[in-house]
Structure 1
Amino acid sequence: MPVIGWTLATLLISAAGGLTLSLFDVPAGILMGGALAVSVAAIAGFRTSVPNRLRDGLFILVGLTMGASVASDTLGLVAQWPITLAALALELVVIVLVCGLVLIKLFKLDKGTAYLSSFPGHLSFIIGIASAGVGDPRQIIVIQVLRVMILTLCVPIGAIFLPVGNYDVGMTAEPMELTTLGMVAAGCIFTGWVFSRLRIPAGYVLGSMAFATAMKLTGNFEGSLPPLLVDITFIGMGALIGSRFAGISRAELARATVGGLLTTAITIGIVTLVAYGLTYIVDMPFGQLWLGLSPGGLESMGALAIALGYDTAFIAAHHVARLMMLTLAIPTVALLVRKT
């Protein structure tokens, strides 16, 4: 079968897995289901394929999607919570340092693999960095995907024990104009290409996100992305994530699984301690702080915030701030690791 045939088969497996998991209302089900399905197929010996050109296109779509998710009033919201945002920044540093050292000392991973496996979030961005030659992509993906899957289960379960708040707010976004989408997409492609030519790690992702974010914050990228485009992006990324498992040995898989479980437990513990400590400093419910500082996805955290009656603006601002911090921190750490 030619490469295009294997590629189409890989995408179909990802789509089937994603659609199946989404039927159970799992947050980010299309992404995680696709990644799981293709991972199982790859480990079973199926020849998965995601060509480099398609990978770069997916990275551009990821950056576009991330930029589109930034609220236009993010900068104003960020200025309202300096103490909790400072705690968030400190929390991220502690998580990466502690989890990275654990993976280096106990599991003997190299620094690139250990620290990229420790970042709580930006899975697609981290995959882009790893694909550029920093660390072992397969180990990183096993640990990160396992982290996301555990958090997908743990956060909603943990939310059952959170007290209900009394903040009532709703927000909907109208679909954006196709001309606006086309203009921003063209800018994302060009900026991603420039970043890549400058040899910036994960240049297509970072460049695309930088352009989309700039357009969003300046009021030139209003509205929501077409759901079909977002689903296509997730299906493609699920295929890319899963294809990284091709050729992985059982020993590699077992080691990464144990590392993923341990680092996820450490991450949840640190988030819980920081959120609890903040309740003595700021006048906010523990549940709201926990959801704002949790490394779960913005969509699932926002949905839980609405269901529990918490301030969704607070939740959204902190998750966007976390992604912005990680956007700067991940390539910086990758560059430092490369030089050592």
Structure 2
Amino acid sequence: MKIALRTILTLIVSALGAYAFGALGIPGGMLMGGALAVMIASLIGLPALVPTRLRDVLFICVGLSMGASVAPDTLTLIGQWPITLGALAAELVVIVVLCGVVLRRLFKFDPGTAYLSSFPGHLSFIVALASTGIGNSRQITIIQVQRVAVLTLFAPIGALFLPVGQYSGASSEPMVLTTLAMVAAGCALVGWAFTRFKVPAAYVLGSMLFATVMKLTGNFPGALPPLFIDLTFIGMGALIGSRFAGITRAEFMQAAWGGTVATTITVAVTTLFAIGVSFFVSMPIGQLWLGLSPGGLESMGSLGIALGYDTAFIAAHHVARLLMLTFAIPLVVMLIKANEAKAAAAAGQ
């Protein structure tokens, strides 16, 4: 099937799911519906596809939307970030240890598969390490993709029981389209520059940085067109769901139970930390949860836009998580290799 046709079919499925769930009135329902529809379609045989160029455009749109949704009091709340960043570091340790132990003892995963599946994020880095012979790369990929999908699908449902943030649609004045086009061009340029410097999530972060500067300096006024937001959510839903393309139902079921338990542990730990931190900072618990959650930056950023939370806070904490994992993952891999070498030496004696 040609790339164009696969892409169009993927986007149509995502749009149908997005508008079906959007009609239910669930916060973030369009993103959730699109992702769920494409995920199911992929598992039953749809060759879902979101080409790299389109993916980059979607990332620019997400970054732009996040910048447009930055809270006006972001700068005054930065002083509270050390508390939340400290909680994020402690949370990551708890998640990796708990999930790794459970996957090893309950599901009998080998150490490499168990711990690389437990790291909350940095999928491309993890898969690259797994391809060198550390763990089962296929199982690791399925569990990691499942984690992001589940967080994207169920975070909006949880939001039904939480107060929605105050920043989404704060401006009732429609944005001038020429302003939107000029900011979008700047976002694309800065995002491209970030790719040259190998910045993680370059297009999302570059776009958000440029849009945030424009917003805080008064050069990006007004509310984003609803159609722009809807199309971004449809595209992101297609992208999230398409990650299940090529995964057979047998492969999915083989790793799904372990992935479900690991994701449940991850959600529980994140929720407990968000509740705990809420006693020490003056931020909505939903915003804390999205900032501390181990979903993808683009996915959690999109939910932050839909739910009306401070996207600068969410983005900063996801970037910090990626940096922490960049140092932690190789360290754990070294420990796994050392233990395997010791075990091999002992077996040879």
TM-score, normalised by the number of residues in structure 2: 0.74
Equivalenced residue count is: 296
- The match for 2:89 among 88, 93, 106 is 93
Superposition deviation, residue 54 in structure 1: 1.0
Counterpart position of 1:220: 219
Counterpart position of 2:119: 115
User: Letter of the aligned partner of 1:104 in structure 2?
Assistant: G
8 A contact 2:287–2:314 mirrored in 1: no
Q: Aligned pair in 2 of structure 1 residues 329, 188: CA closer, same or farther (>3 Å)? A: same
- CA offsets per residue over residues 121-152 of structure 1, 9 Å max, x none? xxxxx77x679968855432311221243333
User: Letter of the aligned partner of 1:196 in structure 2?
Assistant: T
Superposition deviation, residue 257 in structure 1: 1.8
Counterpart position of 1:239: 238
8 A contact 2:69–2:305 mirrored in 1: no
Counterpart position of 2:261: 258
Q: Rg: which structure is higher?
A: 2
Q: Aligned pair in 2 of structure 1 residues 261, 224: CA closer, same or farther (>3 Å)? A: same
8 A contact 2:91–2:270 mirrored in 1: yes
- Whole-Å Cα distance in 1 between the matches of residues 118 and 260 of structure 2? 13
Counterpart position of 2:23: 23
Counterpart position of 2:67: 67
User: Letter of the aligned partner of 2:227 in structure 1?
Assistant: L
- CA offsets per residue over residues 55-97 of structure 1, 9 Å max, x none? 111111111111111134421x315xx4x54432232222222
Counterpart position of 2:337: none
User: Letter of the aligned partner of 2:268 in structure 1?
Assistant: A
- The match for 1:145 among 142, 146, 149 is 149
Counterpart position of 1:9: 9
Summarize the alignment of residues 69-218 of structure 1 with structure 2, pairs less than 5 Å apart: 69-75=69-75, 77-78=76-77, 82=79, 84-107=80-103, 108=111, 109=113, 113-117=117-121, 137-157=141-161, 171-218=170-217
User: Letter of the aligned partner of 2:326 in structure 1?
Assistant: A
8 A contact 2:47–2:246 mirrored in 1: no
- Whole-Å Cα distance in 2 between the matches of residues 203 and 252 of structure 1? 30
- Whole-Å Cα distance in 1 between the matches of residues 17 and 125 of structure 2? 24
- Whole-Å Cα distance in 1 between the matches of residues 329 and 306 of structure 2? 32
User: Letter of the aligned partner of 2:271 in structure 1?
Assistant: I
User: Letter of the aligned partner of 1:103 in structure 2?
Assistant: C
* SS of corresponding position for 2:290: coil
Q: Aligned pair in 2 of structure 1 residues 74, 301: CA closer, same or farther (>3 Å)? A: same
The share of aligned pairs that are identical, in percent, is: 37
Q: Aligned pair in 2 of structure 1 residues 11, 187: CA closer, same or farther (>3 Å)? A: same
- The match for 1:329 among 298, 315, 321 is 321
- Whole-Å Cα distance in 1 between the matches of residues 128 and 64 of structure 2? 23
TM-score, normalised by the number of residues in structure 1: 0.76
Q: Aligned pair in 2 of structure 1 residues 289, 194: CA closer, same or farther (>3 Å)? A: closer
Q: CA RMSD in A?
A: 3.1
